[in-house]
Chain A
Amino acid sequence: GQSLEQPSEVTAVEGAIVQINCTYQTSGFYGLSWYQQHDGGAPTFLSYNALDGLEETGRFSSFLSRSDSYGYLLLQELQMKDSASYFCAVRDGRTGGFKTIFGAGTRLFVKA
């Protein structure tokens, strides 16, 4: 089946670095995505890793290890506005990768 595991909550201070881990189990892996969602808002796309390694986009980086079925989202120089929920997600290989399955989400609290 398809499943993803990520921590439910993470707390960090402004200016710090935080890593949100995600392990997944899926049939027919296409790639691992990360989404950010602020309270009351819609999820917004952050990153997508199809191959092993680190992808960097500004303060955010995402890593994937396909052999370990593991990835993480790294947030550097944390800002208060980074307080949000972060979801890892995989494309459902059973249906040709067109559907996305989301993890339960990690609630990030950034403290001053």
Chain B
Amino acid sequence: SAVISQKPSRDICQRGTSLTIQCQVDSQVTMMFWYRQQPGQSLTLIATANQGSEATYESGFVIDKFPISRPNLTFSTLTVSNMSPEDSSIYLCSVGTSGDSYEQYFGPGTRLTVT
């Protein structure tokens, strides 16, 4: 299993500003994932963060808007840049296990409100 913490847990930001979300895992992992979830909706993958290489973004998400850092095997950050109210959402980081039974573990999420 993996224990994941995120900071901040929530924030209210003004449009046009940026917010950096931190994700810390209690063990070394190869891949970390960043998701976005609107209340009552499913989880949408933003990008996969690999240590030592650039993040891989999903369709509809670009590096200029959501830059990601992955300086080591236990830590990653996601920045939401030039925010607009449409960016209001819950942002979750996640890691997956290897092996036959693939499980993903999620951080508690960052609830972002953009005014």
Query: Do A and B make up one complex?
Result: yes
Residues from chain B with Cβ under 8 Å of A104 in the complex: 41-42
Residues from chain A with Cβ under 8 Å of B33 in the complex: 99-100
Most buried by B among A35, A41, A99: A99
A90 to B108, CA, bound (A): 22
A59 to B57, CA, bound (A): 38
User: What is the number of residues of chain B that contact chain A, defined by CB distance less than 8 Å?
Assistant: 20
User: What is the number of residues of chain A that contact chain B, defined by CB distance less than 8 Å?
Assistant: 25
Of A11-19, A42-50, A71-79, the segment with at least 4 beta carbons within 8 Å of chain B is: A42-50
Contact yes or no, B103 A48, CB < 8 A = yes
Q: How far is the CB of A24 from chain B (nearest CB, A)?
A: 14
Q: Is A97 an interface residue when CB atoms closer than 8 A count as contact? A: yes
Contact yes or no, B48 A98, CB < 8 A = yes
Residues from chain B with Cβ under 8 Å of A45 in the complex: 103-105
Q: Is A93 an interface residue when CB atoms closer than 8 A count as contact? A: no
Contact yes or no, A42 B43, CB < 8 A = no
Contact yes or no, A103 B42, CB < 8 A = yes
Q: Give the contacts of B41-89 with A (CB-CB under 8 A).
A: 41-43, 45, 48
A28 to B31, CA, bound (A): 20
Contact yes or no, A42 B109, CB < 8 A = yes
Task: Point out the residue from A42, A97, A105 that lies within 8 Å of B42, measured CB to CB.
Answer: A105
